Amino acid sequence: MKIIDWFWKVLTLIIIGLLMMNPEFIVMSAFIDAIGLEMFSLLIEVQIISVVGFYFHNWIKPVLMPFYNYFKKVDPYFFIPTRPVINEFPLILCHIIPGFIVLAVGESLISTEIGLV
């Protein structure tokens, strides 16, 4: 733990020193010095997560929704499980891949029929 604390103090000192070299960033370096580099990086992470979440829900999800509905209609075993279900049963992730269960069962039946296994 002492190495991590030492690392953050040295990294904060280096970043504040580099920011104070540029006159436009003097106020930001004082802000980072006041709240700490770890808190500043956490604030940046929260901003990135909120922007990515916004773009996912407004741009990516509407584009992928027709594919999701098509796969639900075509493959009877296709569904996207929730996080608690994945934590309890990790092998359920096979159901996310469209057609995987049908292909795996069909391949196992064919391989036992021809005598490969």
pLDDT at 22: 82
Instruction: Please tell me the distance from the alpha carbon of residue 40 to that of residue 33, in angstroms, as a whole number.
Output: 9
The pLDDT of residue 32 is above 60 = yes
Greater confidence, 42 or 110? 42
- DSSP letters spanning 34-95: HH-HHHHHHHHHHHHHHHHHHHIIIIIHHHHHHHHHHHHHH-TT-----HHHHHH-GGGGGG
Task: Band the pLDDT of 46: cuts 50, 70, 90.
Answer: very high
Domain extent for 37: 1-58
Task: State residue 73's pLDDT score.
Answer: 86
Query: Do residues 80 and 51 both lie within one domain?
Result: no
Query: Per-residue pLDDT tens for 55-78?
Result: 999 999 899 899 888 888 887 777
79 shares its domain with 42: no
The candidate with the shortest Cα–Cα distance to 54, out of 62, 65, 42, is 62
Q: What is the number of domains present in the chain? A: 2
